[in-house]
Structure 1
């Protein structure tokens, strides 16, 4: 009997011991799972915060560029038109007064156009194709170099965050080409392949050795900005043969 009781006690003890181990294991797994959930939430919140911060910085940069452009237009264009109108109104000839009125009408149209760019509403009202066309036309009109846009389709209905990032990255890529590449021609092509929709920005400028030249933090910032929208930034360049930037949009 004592032997049977001993066996029962051993079985009970073993069961309790194993039960305790299992309970401890379950509690530990639940704790680890919750800890990982908390860490994942922190990572998601951090990514979201960085994304929002990047978009805010881009909006501020675009607004600053817009204000700079408006200041330039007020000084170089509208200011000259007003001076010309003043000269015409100062004349005693009736035909000069008529010319002055025409100039004032032109000034009014210019001011209305500038007023539309004081906020970012234009970002939502313009397609990426239209924006690229405007940028290339502006460069071409300065006589700096020839420009071409080739598009297999229209990039429309993009989310505002994607459009903001693309606009800023394209602006910076073109600014870098103007400042550093000294090209005779800039070509932008919008196409699609197995990787997705792409925007290729090519110039036939002086190029550079990507292994030696980092262009400071500029390229890193452009790459990081494309990362924030799930896209990709790729740059290739050869000394004497120009530079190509490929922006791949998220699917």
Structure 2
């Protein structure tokens, strides 16, 4: 019976130690879980901030390009119409007066069209397929090179932010091609493949070494932008064999 108190003390001590260990383990798990939540929240906040910065940057670039386009149109198109109107109205012939009125109406129509592009509301209204075709038509009209557009899509609904990013990427890719590639043909393809939207921009120009670090920043910007809206970018290029940029975007 003399050993019973010692056994009792041992059992009490063991129980207390086990309880303390379990409490410590539970506290550690709670602290770990809270830290994980904080890290996840910080990661989500960072992703949200990065997304917002990307969208704001894209909006600013499109607005700047729009203003540049409007300035050129005012100088080359509206300015030319108004100059022609002035010359026409200088002659008091009744037929010239009628022609002058027609030219003034045309100038008003052109100014109204340009004014709509001063904000980004046109992005909501424009269809991506129409935008691509218009951009390629501008290239052909300039006499720079031939273009081709292929698509298996008739109707395409995208979120405004997705459309914004895609429009800017398309503009940037086409501008880079015109600046550096010296192509004879630019091909753009927009295809729906299962659950993905595939946009391909391809040229038969000079190409470049994809390992060249000096080309990396522009490619990094394109990749980060498409990743912001949940897509990814693939690039294929060889010197003297052209360049192909493929964008894949999850699509329902």
Name stretches of at least 5 consecutive residues in structure 2 with no aligned partner: none
> Are residues 1:100 and 2:113 paired?
no
Structure 1: where are the runs of 5+ without partners?
none
Cα offset, 1:194, TM superposition: 5.5
| 8 Å Cα contact 1:128-1:155 kept in structure 2 | no
Tell me the distance in 1 between the aligned counterparts of 2:250 and 2:214.
26
1:194-235 CA-to-partner distances (Å, cap 9, x unmatched) read: 672201101111111212364251111011101111101111
Q: 1:95, CA displacement in angstroms?
A: 1.2
Decide whether the 8 Å contact of 2:59 with 2:164 is kept in 1.
Answer: yes
Q: Which aligned pairs between 1:30-49 and structure 2 lie closer than 5 A? A: 30-49=30-49
**C-alpha contact 2:186 2:203 (8 A) present in aligned 1:** yes
Return the TM-score normalized by structure 1: 0.96
The answer for the alignment partner of 1:172 in structure 2 is: 172
Structure 1 position 232 matched with structure 2 position 246? no
Q: Secondary structure at the residue paired with 2:122?
A: helix
Distance 1:25 1:219 in 2: 48
| Partner Cα distance (1:73, 1:196) in 2 | 37
- 2:123 equivalent in structure 1: 123
SS at match of 2:82: helix
| C-alpha RMSD of matched pairs (Å) | 1.3
How far apart are the structure 1 equivalents of 2:164 and 2:25? 49
Q: Which TM-score applies when normalising by structure 2?
A: 0.96
CA contact (8 A) 2:202 2:242 kept: yes
Q: What's the CA shift string for 1:24-65, capped at 9, x where partnerless?
A: 110011001101100110000010011001100100110111
Cα separation, 2, equivalents of 1:130 and 1:169: 16
